Amino acid sequence: MSGQSKLSFDGGWEYAPAPQDISHIQLEKKYGLFIDGDFVAPESGNYFETINPATEKPLAKVAAANGADVDKAVRAARKAFDGPWSKMSAADRGKYIYRIARMLQERSREFAVIESLDGGKPIRESRDIDIPLSAAHFFYYAGWADKLQYAFPGREAQALGVAGQIIPWNFPLLMAAWKIAPALACGNTVVLKPAETTPLTALKLAELVRDADLPPGVVNIVTGAGDTGTALVEHDDVNKIAFTGSTAVGRLIQQRLAGTAKKYTLELGGKAANIIFADAAIDQAVEGIVNGIFFNQGHVCCAGSRLLVQEAVADEVIQKLKDRMETLIVGDPLDKNTDIGAINSAAQHKRIDEYLKLGQEEGAEMYQSSRPVPASGYWCRPTLFTGVSQSNRIVQEEIFGPVLAIQTFRTMEEGVTKANNTPYGLSGGIWTDKGAKIFKMTRAIRAGVIWANTFNKFDPTSPFGGYKESGVGREGGLHGLSAYLSLEPRR
């Protein structure tokens, strides 16, 4: 039966393995820092390993940038900003960004595989979501480069200068695209620091930037951990900090930037609620919830990690969710059948495990699918908790894993109160067949993005960002441009 689907003992269908070919992937053994148009050895002399979380085996050694390295990168970015990049016509700047977008499309399969190897996410997701959306961001912002004066009527749109950008590990290339594309379109130069557990697609992007012949210094990539990020935040010659990551680190950065002239945007954590009304299309809603919390291992800032379900349909929804969880395949990220890949790192795996224990200690009832997981690597079965109360930590805190906390509500008001009762306000989802209810709910819920009868849909034209502890500022769309410009009234 090899190579074919077969009927399993419990009567369900098992898929035959469908492995992604990785023979075309070329990774260096050791990566330097990308500064001033070339890869250079770090002044620090230090390297660290990035590992494949599905196998726990090292993929490559990556440079750990110290303060001197960051300083070198910022100087290169300043030189490029004062030199060729700001002297170039905006239309020509746009052409470079279009070129990056096209090259990314051409090399999309290579980027998708590396994203899955380094980050643990299923190839289906990196292939169909991360890489196409990254290219779409470059295409979208390339189009704005020579239209900035029309984007903000009555304003003089001026680049800020050097942008320091720090990104997390859950959507490594996409977060790099969110940051680099608008910054370049507005005429800035950048120093980007990827997360220490997922540096490889950013380094591949550096190769692509070099192949696209961008003037040296316009894009610089410095790898390293939190202290590299700190050096970038504290550098005197950086004009803007764009950070995506946890609320704890975002708060630290905000404190460091207080009283400086640096502009900043912070895209932080979330604890989104999906709210299902009794009149919703239940099967569709269940699929949306599965998509919102279990895919990408729940490593999504706007993940629907809470479910609020109207009491009349709670039993039906929970049963359907459990049935669907049993069909989700947890395993090899490079298998095209895989639904849930590897947890990104040992540290994150430990953190999720601690929350699973905590949820049970808090008195909630835990349910996990019974499907097997591989012996090595970091894995978490899809998990749900029922019998939780609003004050439980698993309801209030971001777990960043495939873990769903379920509560019920009776009235719309109760649904809104529970949905808003967390420190976060990044996203949410409403499931109902009544348009009026959608409008009422979206006005009442304090979240930056609310999806109706769908979840986790992204588009470069649409702004994204949070309320409360989910962040400051917006990325995406026109709002994403204004974050990289000074907009004085035009005289």
Q: How far is the CB of 442 from ligand NAD (least distance, A)?
A: 19
For ligand NAD, which is the closer residue by CB, 118 or 335?
Answer: 118
Residue nearest to ligand NAD (CB): 229
Angstrom CA distances, 186 to 160, 166, 307, stand at 8, 18, 39
336 dihedral zone (left: phi>0; alpha: psi -120 to 50; beta) = alpha
For ligand NAD, which is the closer residue by CB, 170 or 432?
Answer: 170
Residue choice 115, 125, 196, 335 for contact with ligand NAD (CB under 6 A): 196
Distance (Å, whole) CA 272 – CA 425: 7
Check residue 120 for interaction with ligand NAD (CB under 6 A). no
Q: Hey, how many other C-beta atoms are within 10 angstroms of the C-beta on 429?
A: 30
Q: Please identify, among the stretches 94-102, 163-171, 290-298, 412-420, the one whose residues bind ligand NAD according to the rule CB under 6 A.
A: 163-171
Q: Which residues are catalytic?
A: 267, 301
Question: Taking the mean position of all CA atoms in its chain, how far away is CA 150?
Answer: 30
Residue choice 269, 401, 428, 460 for contact with ligand NAD (CB under 6 A): 269
Q: How far is the CB of 76 from ligand NAD (least distance, A)?
A: 20
For ligand NAD, which is the closer residue by CB, 114 or 268?
Answer: 268
Check residue 253 for interaction with ligand NAD (CB under 6 A). yes
Distance (Å, whole) CA 115 – CA 125: 10
CB 380 within 8 A of CB 343: yes
Q: Please identify, among the stretches 142-150, 243-251, 325-333, 353-361, the one whose residues bind ligand NAD according to the rule CB under 6 A.
A: 243-251
For ligand NAD, which is the closer residue by CB, 94 or 465?
Answer: 465
Angstrom CA distances, 37 to 32, 63, 240, 421, stand at 12, 16, 21, 48
Give the max Cα distance, the chain.
76
Distance (Å, whole) CA 130 – CA 115: 9
| Per-residue binder mask for ligand NAD (CB under 6 A), 414-443, x = binder | ------------x-----------------
| Environment class of 175 (CB within 10 Å of its CB; exposed 0-12, middle 13-18, buried 19+) | buried
Check residue 168 for interaction with ligand NAD (CB under 6 A). yes
Residue choice 52, 170, 305, 482 for contact with ligand NAD (CB under 6 A): 170
Check residue 473 for interaction with ligand NAD (CB under 6 A). no
Distance (Å, whole) CA 126 – CA 140: 20
Check residue 233 for interaction with ligand NAD (CB under 6 A). yes
Residue choice 270, 288, 298, 377 for contact with ligand NAD (CB under 6 A): 270
Q: How far is the CB of 212 from ligand NAD (least distance, A)?
A: 24
- Write out the binding residues for ligand NAD, residues 379-398 only, by CB under 6 A: 398
CB 222 within 8 A of CB 35: yes
205 dihedral zone (left: phi>0; alpha: psi -120 to 50; beta) = alpha
Residues that bind ligand NAD (CB under 6 A): 166-170, 193, 195-196, 225-226, 229-230, 233, 244-246, 249, 252-253, 267-270, 301, 398, 400, 426, 466, 471
